[in-house]
A and B are shown apart, each in its own frame.
Chain A
Amino acid sequence: MKKNMLFNLFVLLVLGFFGFIVIISTQLSYSTDLTSIISTYYVENFSFTGALNIVVAILLDFRAYDTLGEILVIFVTISGISLLIGRKDDF
């Protein structure tokens, strides 16, 4: 039990140091205006897609190829689970 506690404490220290390095060296904070090139373009040109919700416009028009991949992932997962559940226990 004692050894386990020491291990957990060590893990905590290591992860804390890792987080410290990541946070200290990037120092991101909330932006005050839209700086990204691509999102500025999307905000200016979303009306070509016929949608008012820009997130949906990005999902289904500007980056619809990503959505295709996502749908494939759902497709694979459902087939995989139905395979795993229907599988006979034969070995």
Chain B
Amino acid sequence: MIEHLPVFFLLTPLIAAVILSITNIFSKKEFIQKIIAASSLALPFYFLYIVFQELNTQTISYDVGGWLKPYGITMVIDELSFILLLVTAILGILTFIYSIKYVKKEVGKFYFFFLLLMSGLNGIFLSGDIFNLYIFFDLTIICSFILITFGEDRYSYKGSIKYLVLGTLASLFFLLAIGFIYAETGLLNLEYLQNSIPLISMQAQIIIFTLLLAAIGIKSAIIPFHTWLVDAHSTAPIPISALLSGIIVKAGVYLFLRINSFGFDIPNIKEVILFLGAITAVGGVVYALIQWDIKKITASHTISQIGIVFIGIGTFSTIGITGGISHLVNHAFFKALLFLCAGAIIYKTGNKDIREHKIGMSMPITLVLYIVGILSISGITPFNGFISKTLIEQSLNNYPFINSMLIFTSIGTVASFSKIIYYSFLKNREIKFNNFKINEAPLLFLIPMIALAFLCLFIGIMPHVWLDTFILPASYSLSSFFSLNVSFIQPASIFKEWLIVAVGILILFLILRISSVVDHIRDKISKIKVNQSILFMIITLIIISLIFGVLNY
């Protein structure tokens, strides 16, 4: 049975979903549905344990239907898929625990789509065939369209339809790229494409890469392609926001890592990816600084963190890719933590606007956990964000401009999250400090938050354990072997981090002074429409292909 493990990753949530949909017809007992869903989400940890032992010796590869490798569809679990499957399993079970208390209406249907979403994500990370990737991408985004509409207000429909138009467009661009790949090479298997992509003509390579970049850009919200993200992520229900920001956006990065290993031999590719990453990192922060909605601020930071991941991967060096993958994982944890804490705050106060929260000290555990999340996302020393940021900064030694952009991103991150802390927790004139009542979030909210905060701290305190077991094998499988000796805890870098925090708080006060200008900018940005952004995307694609030199040959 052990050799069939990849299939069971896919089938466990799937069979649970089918059973759930049958029980939905006959009975409305939510208790049974919760037990079925929870057991099917817990079972993959056992499979992951077995896979982890197997991976020491070889990459697991499974030919579906018994047809050999380039002919049939192959399921592959290598180190990179393993780490993403692990993150999917962890976030899946934690957001499920959160949603037991959070989701009130249409519970059975919610769990049904949740399980199929998990199944689709597992399918993406298992797949070794490029058309199969398309199908599971589409399964995932269709589940997310529906899950977004479970949100609190009518704007969730708006976010859903924006995501739908752009996500479908991304799928179509991806299909066009698959068509060109098939026409040029006659292959669909990812592993075999690594050998045959470098053989085709340069112009065709550039066109394929540009079309794939369009698909990846929309799926993972690189800046000219990002317009759907803030609406969709901020209007979804909280557990789904955490999953969307934690994993589904990462599926685009995963696709980028996979096609990266095809070995496209294109001039200027490194500079283009680095520039896109830098723009994304800075733009997401600027977007976050002008918002007042706690979920919109958190969602905008997804854009900027994805930019940092792309900066790391765009250096195409081992240390950069290690930093990128590790930031991908760390971002999944701390962004899920931030979203879940925001959900607890919204659950208690019933308001998304940070100026109206007035929590004071009534939610001490949530405050502590939120500060852990903020310190992680800002990259302060004993938390997990600093590990990956240190790695990415070290890979950028030859690019001082990009490095300065990264520092600016850190400052903006600190500033926008200090705004949340200041307005929601500290600025509280009505309730006196000594007569507050403790009004903490329910226990089922706190368990996943504490678990995620523990993960953030654990990775930060013992970086080498985490990096050596999970991250480094993944990055070695993508690039040539290169020993990594980075000393993480240095006094100079700690001083730099706290300097960034100080500058960030200063910038925050500066921005609060000029709040009329900020309101003006926010009005301007909110006027950008979907169709204009699509036009801008196409112009960007043309410019990128011209920079690659598509007409030079």
Q: Which of B71, B180, B550, B553 contacts A21 (CB 8 A)?
A: B550
CB of B139 closer than 8 Å to a CB of A? yes
Q: Chain A contacts of B146 at CB under 8 A?
A: 76, 80, 83-84
Which residues in chain B, 160-204, are within 8 Å of chain A measured between CB atoms? 180, 182-184, 186-188, 203-204
Q: Given the complex of chains A and B, what is the CA–CA distance between A83 and B21 in angstroms? A: 12
Query: Which 9 pairs, one residue from A and one from B, show the smallest C-beta to C-beta distance?
Result: A36-B186, A25-B203, A69-B135, A80-B146, A65-B64, A65-B73, A41-B71, A83-B109, A25-B550
Q: A73: shortest Cβ distance to chain B, in Å?
A: 5
Q: A75: shortest Cβ distance to chain B, in Å?
A: 8
Q: Chain B contacts of A14 at CB under 8 A?
A: 535, 538-539, 542
Judge whether A79 and B109 touch: CB under 8 Å. yes
Q: Given the complex of chains A and B, what is the CA–CA distance between A61 and B112 in angstroms? A: 28
Given A66-B73, A69-B123; A79-B21 close (CB under 8 Å): yes
Judge whether A21 and B113 touch: CB under 8 Å. no
CB of A15 closer than 8 Å to a CB of B? yes
Q: B429: shortest Cβ distance to chain A, in Å?
A: 31
Q: Given the complex of chains A and B, what is the CA–CA distance between A62 and B68 in angstroms? A: 10
Q: Given the complex of chains A and B, what is the CA–CA distance between A69 and B186 in angstroms? A: 22
Q: Chain A contacts of B138 at CB under 8 A?
A: 73
Judge whether A76 and B64 touch: CB under 8 Å. no
Q: Given the complex of chains A and B, what is the CA–CA distance between A17 and B546 in angstroms? A: 11
Q: Given the complex of chains A and B, what is the CA–CA distance between A8 and B426 in angstroms? A: 51
CB of A22 closer than 8 Å to a CB of B? yes
Judge whether A42 and B135 touch: CB under 8 Å. no
CB of A72 closer than 8 Å to a CB of B? yes
Q: Interface of chain A, helix or strand or loop or mixed?
A: helix
Q: Which of B71, B184, B207, B542 contacts A17 (CB 8 A)?
A: B542
21 A-B pairs with CB atoms under 8 Å apart are A14-B538, A21-B542, A22-B207, A24-B551, A25-B553, A26-B207, A28-B180, A36-B186, A39-B186, A41-B70, A61-B65, A62-B67, A64-B64, A65-B64, A69-B123, A73-B142, A76-B139, A79-B112, A79-B113, A80-B113, A91-B154
Q: Chain A contacts of B119 at CB under 8 A?
A: 72
Q: A52: shortest Cβ distance to chain B, in Å?
A: 19
Q: Mark A53-91, 1 if CB is under 8 A from B, else 0.
A: 000000001111110011011011101100110010011
Instruction: Apart from A14-B542, A21-B542, A76-B116, list 13 A-B contacts with CB within 8 A.
Output: A15-B538, A17-B542, A18-B542, A25-B204, A26-B184, A36-B187, A37-B70, A37-B187, A64-B64, A66-B73, A69-B132, A79-B113, A83-B109
Judge whether B139 and A65 touch: CB under 8 Å. no
Q: Chain B contacts of A80 at CB under 8 A?
A: 113, 142, 145-146
Given A14-B535, A64-B65, A91-B152; A76-B142 close (CB under 8 Å): yes
CB of A11 closer than 8 Å to a CB of B? yes
Closest to B183 in A: A28
Judge whether B541 and A62 touch: CB under 8 Å. no
Q: Chain B contacts of A65 at CB under 8 A?
A: 64-65, 73, 132
Q: Given the complex of chains A and B, what is the CA–CA distance between A11 and B535 in angstroms? A: 7
Q: How many A-B residue pairs have CB under 8 A?
A: 108
Judge whether A73 and B139 touch: CB under 8 Å. yes
Q: Chain A contacts of B65 at CB under 8 A?
A: 61-62, 64-65
Q: Chain A contacts of B149 at CB under 8 A?
A: 84
Q: Chain B contacts of A1 at CB under 8 A?
A: none
The count of chain A contact residues (Cβ–Cβ below 8 Å) is: 38
Judge whether B538 and A38 touch: CB under 8 Å. no
CB of A35 closer than 8 Å to a CB of B? yes
Judge whether B183 and A38 touch: CB under 8 Å. no
CB of B136 closer than 8 Å to a CB of A? yes
Q: Chain B contacts of A24 at CB under 8 A?
A: 551
Which residues in chain B, 130-151, are within 8 Å of chain A measured between CB atoms? 131-132, 135-136, 138-139, 142-143, 145-146, 149
Q: Chain B contacts of A91 at CB under 8 A?
A: 152-154
Q: Chain B contacts of A37 at CB under 8 A?
A: 70, 186-187
Q: Given the complex of chains A and B, what is the CA–CA distance between A28 and B131 in angstroms? A: 20
Q: Chain A contacts of B153 at CB under 8 A?
A: 91
Q: Mark B418-435, 1 if CB is under 8 A from A, else 0.
A: 000000000000000000
Q: B157: shortest Cβ distance to chain A, in Å?
A: 10
Q: Mark B362-396, 1 if CB is under 8 A from A, else 0.
A: 00000000000000000000000000000000000
Judge whether A63 and B139 touch: CB under 8 Å. no
CB of B72 closer than 8 Å to a CB of A? yes
Q: Mark A1-36, 1 if CB is under 8 A from B, else 0.
A: 000000000010011011001101110100000011
Judge whether A62 and B71 touch: CB under 8 Å. yes
Q: Which of B142, B186, B206, B553 contacts A77 (CB 8 A)?
A: B142
Q: Chain B contacts of A69 at CB under 8 A?
A: 123, 132, 135-136, 139
Q: Given the complex of chains A and B, what is the CA–CA distance between A16 and B74 in angstroms? A: 38
Given A14-B538, A62-B67, A77-B142; A72-B186 close (CB under 8 Å): no
CB of B545 closer than 8 Å to a CB of A? yes
Q: B34: shortest Cβ distance to chain A, in Å?
A: 18
CB of B3 closer than 8 Å to a CB of A? no
CB of B308 closer than 8 Å to a CB of A? no
Judge whether B14 and A21 touch: CB under 8 Å. no
Q: Given the complex of chains A and B, what is the CA–CA distance between A61 and B66 in angstroms? A: 10
Q: Given the complex of chains A and B, what is the CA–CA distance between A11 and B64 in angstroms? A: 45
Closest to B156 in A: A91
Q: Given the complex of chains A and B, what is the CA–CA distance between A47 and B366 in angstroms? A: 64
Judge whether A76 and B132 touch: CB under 8 Å. no
Q: Chain B contacts of A39 at CB under 8 A?
A: 186
Judge whether A72 and B139 touch: CB under 8 Å. yes
Q: Which of A26, A36, A38, A75 contacts B203 (CB 8 A)?
A: A26
Q: Chain A contacts of B551 at CB under 8 A?
A: 21, 24-25
Q: Given the complex of chains A and B, what is the CA–CA distance between A18 and B545 in angstroms? A: 9
